Amino acid sequence: MSQPSTFSQRVYEAVKRIPKGSVSTYKRIAILAGSPNASRAVGNILHQNPFPGEIPCHRVVSSSGRLTAAFAFGGLDAHKEMLLRENIEVYGNKVNLNKYLYRGE
């Protein structure tokens, strides 16, 4: 397994700071990783996450709060289940960013 790039490492560090019971967005993680226009790259990095046990990727959603069917943990249903275990309510395939968005980054 190859070492992650510097940008990937910054993405992983930003994601690890999201507290349990909160979510962040691809765009916010991209900003924290130093590349404001790289939300798609952030999604690709998290989808290829070589550290599934260490990086809580399920805490990242789209800028509209939509869940994704990607990532290393098994798709949309698994994403919902992981968020529900953290007491994050899921409405259809979305979370309420006004309620759950982590703003202390």
- Across the chain, the runs of DSSP E, i.e. the strands, are 24-25, 60-61
Report yes or no: 32 and 18 within 8 Å, Cβ to Cβ: no
69 is a catalytic site residue: no
Of the listed 38, 57, 82, 83, which one is catalytic? 57
Rounded (5°) CA angle 42-27-76: 65
The catalytic site residues sit at 57
